[in-house]
């Protein structure tokens, strides 16, 4: 009985620790920007080091309804964007990197999206066909937990 109680307590501690180390939009991003759909009509790029130590599928707070490949991400977002004037645009979020990068975002509607290779050359891309105005948090990770130089890119297109 005591052994079972001890094991249950250890499992709870392990789960709590793992959840605390997962990507969390409540943490302060490395950089924050305010941009409009019109400003993003010309592609904007942001340099970043891709990678992280938290395996995305071990995180109960992150439930992407998209791609299911592997990915390691930092706890705090790399970027946070306050978007406005998005109603007439689709938004393309992509990464160009020197390794097998992965992309994780949390949108203004509290939806998680993940991608690994849709930008070609082992780089990720997510297309939001009807992005909402509001905050989008972005994590740039890697498929295998390595770190490398990368560029995160944002661009809008007319719908």
pLDDT in tens, 42-89: 999 999 999 999 998 888 777 666 666 789 999 999 999 999 999 999
Strands 79-84 and 134-142: antiparallel
**Chain centroid to CA 133: how far?**
18
Give domain 2-158's CATH architecture.
Sandwich (2.60)
Under the banding of pLDDT at 50, 70 and 90, the label for residue 11 is very low
**114: nearest Cα among 77, 78, 141:** 141
pLDDT of residue 62: 79
pLDDT at 26 over 60: yes
Taking the CA atoms of residue 147, residue 26, residue 92 and residue 89 in that order, the dihedral angle to the nearest 10 degrees is -170
Report the predicted TM-score, pTM, of the whole model to 2 decimal places: 0.85
Mean residue pLDDT of the chain comes to: 87
């Amino acid at each position: 009985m005591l052994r079972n109680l001890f094991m249950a307590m250890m499992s709870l501690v392990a789960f709590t620790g793992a959840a605390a180390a997962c990507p969390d939009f409540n943490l302060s991003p490395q950089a924050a920007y305010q941009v409009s759909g019109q400003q993003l009509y010309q592609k904007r790029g942001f340099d970043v080091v891709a990678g992280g130590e938290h395996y995305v599928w071990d995180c109960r707070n992150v439930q992407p309804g998209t791609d299911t490949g592997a990915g390691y991400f930092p706890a705090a977002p790399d970027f946070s964007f306050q978007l406005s004037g998005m109603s007439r645009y689709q938004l393309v979020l992509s990464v160009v990197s020197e390794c097998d990068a992965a992309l994780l975002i949390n949108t203004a509607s509290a939806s998680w999206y993940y991608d690994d290779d849709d930008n070609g050359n082992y780089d990720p891309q997510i297309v939001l066909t009807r992005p909402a105005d509001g905050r989008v948090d972005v994590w740039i990770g890697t498929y295998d937990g390595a770190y490398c130089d990368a560029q995160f890119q944002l661009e809008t297109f007319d719908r």
